[in-house]
Chain A
Amino acid sequence: MSTPLYSIPGAPVVAGAEATPAPAAAPAPEASAPRTVGEVLAETQAGRVLEELDRSLVGLAPVKGRIRDIAALLVIDKLRVSLGLRAESPSLHMCFTGNPGTGKTTVALRMAEILHRLGYVRKGHLVAVTRDDLVGQYIGHTAPKTREVLKKAMGGVLFIDEAYYLYRPENERDYGQEAIEILLQVMENQRDDLVVILAGYHDRMETFFRSNPGMRSRIAHHIDFPDYAPEDLLCIAERMLEQQHYRFGSGARAAFEEYLALRIRQPQFANARSVRNALDRARLRQASRLFAERDRALGADDLTTLSVADIRGSRVFAAAATAPL
C-alpha cells in the first residue's frame, strides 16, 4: 500500500511519510528549552500568580510558604525535563485544614490557577463539591454520581469541602464509603488528569483520616490554615470595603478594631467570614441612617463612609456592656 495523502492532527508521524519536507524539525525544541528558573516563570507566568497570591491574601504565612515550595518543585521539574532528566510527576493531592473562614476555598481557587500556569493540570478549573454531590441516596446511585463529578473535574482541581462528612462511622451501610473508594482509585490511577483537594476542620479531618488510612497516604500535602490575627482581620476588612467602594470614617476603624476584639471572644467566630458579615450589617445600618434623612443632599462622601455609629450599633457591643467579662 502507498503512504496515505491525508493527515490527522496529532497523528504520530510515520517514518518515511514525511521524509522530504522537514528533516530539521526534531532538534528545534532543544534550542528554545528554558535554562533558568526565571525563564520558566516568565514563560508560564506563574510568577505573577504567586506574587498576586502574596499580595491579595492577608496573613497565612505557612500556607504561602507551602504553595511556594510546591511551585518551586514544579518549576525545577520543568527544567529537569528540558535537560532530558527523569521527572516523576509528583502527587499533588492536598488537604486543607483550618477553622471556618480562614480562606481554604480562596486558596484552592488560586492553587488551580497556579497548577494550570505551571502546566500541571490542563484546564485549571475548580469544581467545588460537598458530600451531596458525591454520595447517592440509594444502592447503585453513588458510583455513577461520583464518576460524573470526577469526569467534570478532569483536567482541573476537584475541591471537596467538608470532606469528613463523606465518612459516617455511625452508619456502617452509609454510601459514603463507596464514594471514597472510587475517589481513591481515580486519585491513584489518574494522577495526571486531576488534583483532589480535601478541606475541613482540623479535628474532624483527623478522625476522617484515622478511619481512612488509605486516604491519608495518598495525600502528599497536608496544609494547616492558621486563624487570623486581629490586625490581619482589620486589614481584610479594609480590603473588603475598598473592593465595595466603602471606607471607614474617622474613628470607625478604631471602633471596628474594638468590635473584632469582642467578637473573637464570642462563640462561632468564623474569621474572614464573620468580618464580611459584620461589614454587611454595618452597611445596612449606614443605609438606614442615610435613609432617615429625607431632605439631605447626599454626596459621594456620605455614601461611601461608614461612621462610628454604624459600627457601634452592633449587638456585640450591647452584649459586652450588659455582661462584662
Chain B
Amino acid sequence: MMTNPTGRLTQGQFSFLPDLTDAEIALQVEYGLKRGYAWSVEYTDDPHPRNTYWEMYGMPMFDLKDAAGVLAELAECRKTFPDHYIRLMAFDSTRGVESVAMSFIVNRPKGEPGFGLARQEVNGRTLRYTVHSYATERPERERYRR
C-alpha cells in the first residue's frame, strides 16, 4: 500500500496545495500582519510530526508593517538552507490567545522520502507502532543532499 502518494510532507496550512509562489506568500503574510500577528521563520531537516519546535531563523518579527520584511528574511533563510524544510509562523499575542495562529511550509527539499512505520515487539507478543522519518537515517546536513 502506498502511504505517501504525493511524496510531499503535509503539515500546516496549504500543504496539500502546490507550493505557494512568493506573491501568494506575501499575501498570506500581509493578511497576518493586518490581524496583528508577529511572523517568524523556522527551519528543520527532521520533519517528524511530533517535532513541534523547529529551529528559529532569527528572532520573531514584531512591529512589522509590510510583508517585504518577512520575505527578505525568508529569502536569506532559503539561501542558507536550500535543502531544508522552512516554514513561516504567525504568533498572535492577543491576551488569552497567545499562540501560533498560522503556520505553513514555504520551502521543501528536492526529494522527500517520507515516513516509515516501525514495529516494536514488547511484552508477550504486543506490538508497538511508531512513525520514523527515512531522512533521519542519515546524519544531519546530509539528509536531503542530492
Chain A residues packing against B (C-beta within 8 Å): 4, 6, 8-12, 122-123, 125, 144, 148, 150-152, 154-156, 190, 193-194
The size of the chain B interface, using a CB distance under 8 A, is 22
Please choose the segment from B45-53, B58-66, B77-85, B121-129 that sits at the chain A interface, where 4 or more of its residues have CB less than 8 A away: B58-66
Assess whether A10 is in contact with B66, with CB atoms less than 8 Å apart: no
Assess whether A10 is in contact with B64, with CB atoms less than 8 Å apart: no
Q: In the complex, which residues of chain A have a beta carbon less than 8 angstroms from the beta carbon of B65? A: 123, 125, 152, 154-156
Assess whether A152 is in contact with B69, with CB atoms less than 8 Å apart: yes
Q: In the complex, which residues of chain A have a beta carbon less than 8 angstroms from the beta carbon of B70? A: 151
Distance to closest chain B CB from A114 (angstroms)? 17
Q: Give the CA-CA distance A122 to B68 in the complex, in Å.
A: 10
Q: Give the CA-CA distance A305 to B18 in the complex, in Å.
A: 70
Assess whether B21 is in contact with A190, with CB atoms less than 8 Å apart: no
Assess whether A154 is in contact with B17, with CB atoms less than 8 Å apart: no
Chain B residues packing against A (C-beta within 8 Å): 14, 17-18, 20-21, 23-24, 26-27, 58-59, 61, 63-70, 72-73
Q: Give the CA-CA distance A195 to B17 in the complex, in Å.
A: 36
Q: Give the CA-CA distance A151 to B68 in the complex, in Å.
A: 7
Assess whether B72 is in contact with A10, with CB atoms less than 8 Å apart: no
Q: Given contacts A8-B17, A10-B24, is CB(A152)–CB(B72) below 8 Å?
A: no
Q: In the complex, which residues of chain A have a beta carbon less than 8 angstroms from the beta carbon of B72? A: 151, 154, 190, 193
Tell which of B20, B59, B63 touches A8, judged by Cβ atoms closer than 8 Å. Answer: B20
Q: In the complex, which residues of chain A have a beta carbon less than 8 angstroms from the beta carbon of B63? A: 152
Q: Given contacts A151-B64, A154-B64, is CB(A11)–CB(B69) below 8 Å?
A: no
